[in-house]
Structure 1
């Protein structure tokens, strides 16, 4: 039923500030943006990684009615080659470390950070991710 990460969506009160921060953190600009009726950026989307996966930033004004944020919910973990280096880079850009790096069984390493906009990002060095990537057809890597 679940076939893979389609989009990791993050919320921000100021999408332009979040877009700028993620542009620096990812070393690339978003490939897609949409403005709201007031002309402010309402959505920005990046394609990142080997597949490439979608990371979207949505204006918090469009959150479902009654939603509350600020508590840890589902976390998308993104594969990185070096968790400690990724953690250092993101904290250097203003993210707050929450956990890790934590060395787990079989070569997995994880860490969590909060971006400056209150979203939790998971960082993971995943031998499984690398094995699946290696098994993919050359055009899919």
Structure 2
């Protein structure tokens, strides 16, 4: 590992939820996997974490009572992290069926670029994107 002063990649994205048990149930349905880490315990977690996607990115969900004061605002806010999906329209339908509300409609941004975003039942924005850049990077990685 180098010791450079640069952003090297997303290590973790954290969302907030008032009801972590409900968030765990919702995200487990959406992602199709159980969280691999729960603290302090699975029965009453303050934090849960999933590893998902091609690069096993970490999605953490934290009980909102631990949020910094500025993050305790009402309504969605903050940055939108876009997750690459092969079928934005299909995934948009899926998350809406699970109870998310549309934040940004399905938008064609150019050849092979499509985005949309939703707000989960806990107030977090989930961005969806079909990105040819993501596919280029994935295809360039040697596979065993």
Q: Report the TM-score when normalising by structure 1.
A: 0.91
Choose the corresponding residue for 2:132, options 108, 127, 130: 127
Q: Which residue of 1 aligns with 2:45?
A: 41
How far the C-alpha of 1:60 sits from its partner, in A, is 0.5
- Distance change >3 Å, CA 66–CA 121, structure 1 → 2: closer
Partners of 1:96 and 1:66 lie apart in 2 by 23
Q: Which is worse superposed, 66-75 or 98-107?
A: 66-75
Q: Which residue of 1 aligns with 2:3?
A: none
- Distance change >3 Å, CA 123–CA 66, structure 1 → 2: closer
Q: Which residue of 2 aligns with 1:98?
A: 103
Q: Which residue of 1 aligns with 2:16?
A: 11
Q: Report the TM-score when normalising by structure 2.
A: 0.89
Q: Which is worse superposed, 57-66 or 74-83?
A: 57-66
Where structure 1 has 5 or more consecutive residues not aligned to the other structure, the ranges are none
- Distance change >3 Å, CA 115–CA 71, structure 1 → 2: closer
1:21 aligns to what SS in structure 2? helix
Q: Which residue of 1 aligns with 2:80?
A: 75
Partners of 2:22 and 2:76 lie apart in 1 by 21
Partners of 2:91 and 2:70 lie apart in 1 by 34
Aligned residue pairs: how many? 137
Contact 2:114 2:129 in 1 (8 A): yes
CA RMSD of aligned residues (A): 1.4
Contact 2:50 2:59 in 1 (8 A): yes
- Distance change >3 Å, CA 71–CA 118, structure 1 → 2: closer
